[in-house]
Amino acid sequence: MIGMASSVLSFRQLCSGCARRIRVPTAAPAPVWRRPLALGARRDSSPISTVTLAYDLHQPAKPVADKQTSPLIVMHGLFGSKKNNRTISKVLARDLGRHVYALDLRNHGESPHDERHDYPAMAADVANFIRQHGLKEPTLIGHSMGAKTAMTLALQEPDLVANLIAVDNAPVDARISSDFARYIQGMKKIDEADVTRLAEADKILEPYEKDLTIRQFLLGNLHRPTPASKAQKFRVPLHILAKALDHMGDFPFKDPNEARFAKPSLFIRGTQSKYVPDELIPLIGQFFPLFELVDVEAGHWVISEKPEAFRQAVLRFLEPKE
């Protein structure tokens, strides 16, 4: 048991009974599960041109000597950026004595824009980042879109990764909620309005999203393109993400017999979220046979809602095993 806010179950325990009711999240749209593509099918099998990812490096005050090149790599979700993970990255660097790289995935934050936005491409970017920086045995931590990116990379190149922490997402095809398309509509309206103040942008976005917390999260992508600019624009390429939305719920691997990550994995889900329902637990175990599951009393935004429960779950998972 981890604190009062979470519980830990092994794959064997989970598959013996999955009767717990999961509540609908209040802070994020729920996915709609759909039938997977044919085994081995891919949305885009064209060659991948990788981009060089922007990142923040959080160094521990007292690094563990043998962990200099085995860092944590933290990946955000859709419309997020490395700045969303700044606090938890600093905390984990401190507690674990390991370097923590918080990434901006392609088409997010300060990373380059590219017309292709899918999980094989994002995983290839991260693999390239690992090789460019000479990192050995990294731990991948991803939330939502970042979780599927981490899972894709782990299955695609298991020798490149030591272990995996996936936060509130599962290795399955799902249809993204229409809420995300609505967000993009509102964000485009803001871009067209040439707003100069955040309050103006929030007023435009309010009809598209009533929840202030979600609006603030989305508006965190606004910036002034140049020092002389008065108007604020969205840093993320809205036209690219709009085209990618239909496939953002996809998962590129369909057959656990063809791809399996036989190293330790931790799946953390919010008990008030529907992104990882009980019926998907056996599938997680087929792709990730050495996985553990931790339930945290939170919605989809597990890390920001319950940072201490998340921290404890990560520390327990990564602590040396006897």
Catalytic site positions:
144, 300
Q: 59-96: b or e for each residue (b if 16 or more CB lie within 10 Å)?
A: ebeeeeeebeeebbbbbbbbbbbbebbeebbbbbbeeb
Grouping H, G, I as helix, E, B as strand and the rest as coil, residue 159 is helix
Q: Which residues contact 152 (CB under 8 A, 6 or more apart)?
A: 119, 120, 122, 123, 251, 252, 253
Q: Hey, what amino acid is at 8?
A: V
Beta bridge partners of 163: 139
Count other C-beta atoms under 10 Å from residue 101's C-beta.
Answer: 23
Q: Which residues contact 87 (CB under 8 A, 6 or more apart)?
A: 307
Please, how many CA atoms are within 13 Å of residue 270, restricted to the half-sphere of its CB?
26
CA distance 88 to 299: 17
CA distance 134 to 149: 20
Long-range contacts of 182-190 (CB under 8 A, 24+ apart): 182/208, 182/209, 183/79, 183/208, 183/209, 183/214, 183/218, 184/238, 184/241, 184/242, 184/245, 186/218, 187/218, 187/221, 187/234, 187/238, 188/238, 190/222, 190/234
**Which of 176, 115, 137, 158 lies closest to 300, judged by CA?**
176
Q: Hey, what amino acid is at 308?
A: E
